[in-house]
Amino acid sequence: MSGTCSSEGAVTASRLEMTDISKRFGGLRAVDRVTISLRGGEVLALCGANGAGKSTLVRILAGVEHADSGQIALDGVPVVIDRPETAAHHGLSFVHQELNLVPKFTGLQNMAMGADRQSRLGLVATKRLRRLASEVQERLGYRIPLDVPVDRLSVSDRWMVSLGRCLMRSAKFVVLDEPTASFTDDEAEKLYKVIKELTDSGVGVLYISHRLEEVLEISDRVTVLRNGSVAGSYETAELTVSSLTKAIVGHEVEALAHRRGDASTGAPIRLSVRDLRRPPNVVGASFDLRRGEIVGVAGLVGSGRTELARLLIGADQAAGGEIILDGKPYAPRGPHDAIRAGVVLVPEERRSQALLLSESIERNLAVASHGSARHLMCRFRPRRSHRAAVDIVDELGIKTDGVTRPVLSLSGGNQQKVVVGNYLRTRPSVLVLDEPTVGVDVGSREEIYGIITGLAGAGASILVISSDFDELAVCDRVLVMRHGAIVAEVPSHRATKGHLTRLCFEAEQPAA
């Protein structure tokens, strides 16, 4: 996409500049004298490793965080953005990195929140809001469920609501902080279309993503942050995936290689799932998982992958079918049983499902090991726990200045590593990861997959659920789930993005 609207001649195109912005958290310089500028009608991508300071910069722009120094100017006029409403007032609209919805509100209520200040008598202008919302739906080409409380929606539908909210406001600049992290390609495509429309109508887009192909596809320019400061700014045209990766990480990173699944083909079966069901989301799942094997699960949003994973650890109770673990029937009554049997799930939404946000990293790294303790009266040894936490932080390369810091202060990718570390401490034999690399940068993703393959090498069996089909290259086999059933199994070398996507959609009998 080229910035047709941002030609020099366009006098009306507005301009957003952030100059010399700095922000410190305690001793840490999250953002250090960063300067970026964005014009109406163009897409500026912001790239950088986890913790590089992208979201902090965005939050400063949104009035959520206050910069220690620096200036923000709109069309050359300095503005003070001290509160989120001020940002909205200046025509800035955001999708923040974390889901921020009111669970009991419907999609429409969530989209309307804070958007309707202008209504008369303080009354809610329901009709107008609904009209606006359906316009947004049309633009997205996606039916966002408007009248269902969002806590009944799937995670990706929730993201659609979040995106819808951002688009409901007529904005001059739109900031999207990893909007596609939870999307499959299909939904991402819809978003790209919307971004195109936006830029065509003169809106400037600040776009943050760890999906580098996507960045190259949709942006006009790229600014790379490293350790809080600008490491370089580029015209997108002059970049490739590998040069961008190098700019972000500072050194070369190899692309994920397809695994040769021969290592584990002869290994004994560890987990055998037979016709597992819990209608309506899971209506018949059968598969085997061998020792030392990494198996991927591909599927569209709502195909029931998360439900399947929850059944495996007993977080929900199956309505039928059976599971055999190491030759013995396995029917966990809850995650406790599962963990004790060596089966763990790394859940898909880390903030609501996996972290004690306001607690320390150390404590977050100990929860699962408490959960797997035999007796509640077992002794807890804080020093030992501290040492274990320090070890995990080192091992997984979690970027922090101490394990006693609250996990809240970590960047998204590092939080994800804490989640993985928490579960790894129980030394699981079966590890189920639901979207393990959501919001994780290329370098860290590499590391997380390195950890996963390492575990598999040590004999653990791993099930990886991912909507990023490129990632599934690391798997020995990929299962495809559709409408609650496993409909296909694809060996590693054939698990290309295109093939998997086709299988996800195909209604006919696939070649198993």
Partner 1 sequence: MTVIVEDSIKEASASSSSTARVVWRLIGQYGTIAMLGLLIVTMTALEPSVFATSDNLVNVLNQSAIPAMIALGLTFPLVTGDFDLSIGNTASLSGVVACTLMRDVDMSIWMAISAAIMVGLVIGLVNGVVVTVLNVNSLVATLGVGTMAIGVNYKIAGGQPVGLSDSESFLEISLGTLLGIPYPVYIMIGFTAVLWLLLNRTVLGQSMQAVGGNPVAARLSGVRVERVRLVSFVICGAFAALTGVLLASRTGSAAVSGGDGYLLSAFAAAFFGSAVLRDGQFHIIGTLVGVITVAIGFNAIALTGMATYWQYLFQGLLLVLGVGVGSLARRRTAAT
Ligand X SMILES: Nc1ncnc2c1ncn2[C@@H]1O[C@H](COP(=O)(O)OP(=O)(O)OP(=O)(O)O)[C@@H](O)[C@H]1O
We find the least distance from the C-beta atom of residue 250 to partner 1, in angstroms, to be 12
Rounded distance between C-alpha atoms, residue 183 and residue 196, angstroms = 18
Position 184 contacts Mg ion (CB under 5 A): no
Residues in contact with 106: Cβ distance below 8 Å, sequence separation at least 6, in sequence order:
146, 147, 148, 149, 150
Q: Map the footprint of partner 1 across residues 392-421, applying CB under 8 A.
A: 399-401
First-last CA distance in the chain = 38
Tell me the number of residues near partner 1 by CB under 8 A. 90
Candidate list 108, 410, 420, 488; residue touching ligand X; CB under 6 A: 410
Q: Map the footprint of partner 1 across residues 335-354, applying CB under 8 A.
A: 335-336, 338-340, 344-345, 347, 352-354
Candidate list 53, 204, 335, 443; residue touching ligand X; CB under 6 A: 53
Candidate list 14, 22, 55, 236; residue touching ligand X; CB under 6 A: 55
For residues 481 and 277, the answer to whether their CB atoms sit within 8 Å is no
Provide the token pair at 434: 């639901």
Order of strands, sheet of 229-235, starting from the edge strand that comes earlier in the sequence: 92-95, 173-177, 204-208, 43-48, 221-226, 229-235
Rounded distance between C-alpha atoms, residue 295 and residue 303, angstroms = 17
Q: Map the footprint of partner 1 across residues 14-73, applying CB under 8 A.
A: 24, 27-29, 62, 64, 66
Alpha carbon of 483 to those of 224, 279, 499: distances in Å?
40, 10, 18
Position 413 contacts ligand X (CB under 6 A): yes
Three-state SS across 396-463? HCCCCCCCCCEHHHCCHHHHHHHHHHHHHCCCCCEEEEECCCCCCCHHHHHHHHHHHHHHHHCCCEEE
Site string for ligand X, 419-438 (x = CB under 6 A): --------------------
Position 152 contacts ligand X (CB under 6 A): yes
Q: Which is nearer to Mg ion, 93 or 415 (CB)?
A: 415
Q: Which is nearer to ligand X, 30 or 273 (CB)?
A: 30
> What are the φ/ψ torsions at residue 393 (nearest 5 degrees)?
-60, -40
Site string for Mg ion, 408-447 (x = CB under 5 A): ----x-----------------------------------
Select the binding partner of residue 56 from ligand X, Mg ion, partner 1, none (C-beta < 5 to 8 A, by kind).
Answer: ligand X
Position 301 contacts partner 1 (CB under 8 A): yes
Q: Which of 361, 188, 331 is nearest to 271 (CA)?
A: 331
Candidate list 156, 180, 385, 461; residue touching ligand X; CB under 6 A: 156
Site string for partner 1, 215-234 (x = CB under 8 A): ------------x-------
Q: In sequence order, what are the beta bridge partners of 271?
A: 289, 325
Q: Which of 466, 416, 408 is nearest to 440 (CA)?
A: 416
Q: Which is nearer to Mg ion, 306 or 360 (CB)?
A: 306
Position 143 contacts partner 1 (CB under 8 A): yes
Q: Which of 190, 160, 232, 226 is nearest to 411 (CA)?
A: 226
Select the binding partner of residue 427 from ligand X, Mg ion, partner 1, none (C-beta < 5 to 8 A, by kind).
Answer: none
Rounded distance between C-alpha atoms, residue 220 and residue 485, angstroms = 41
Rounded distance between C-alpha atoms, residue 39 and residue 16, angstroms = 6
Q: Which is nearer to Mg ion, 97 or 372 (CB)?
A: 97
Select the binding partner of residue 456 from ligand X, Mg ion, partner 1, none (C-beta < 5 to 8 A, by kind).
Answer: none
Q: Give the footprint of ligand X on this chain (CB under 6 A).
A: 25, 28, 30, 48, 50-56, 97, 152-157, 281, 299, 301-307, 348, 409-413, 439, 441, 467
Q: Which residues bind Mg ion (CB under 5 A)?
A: 55, 97, 306, 348, 412
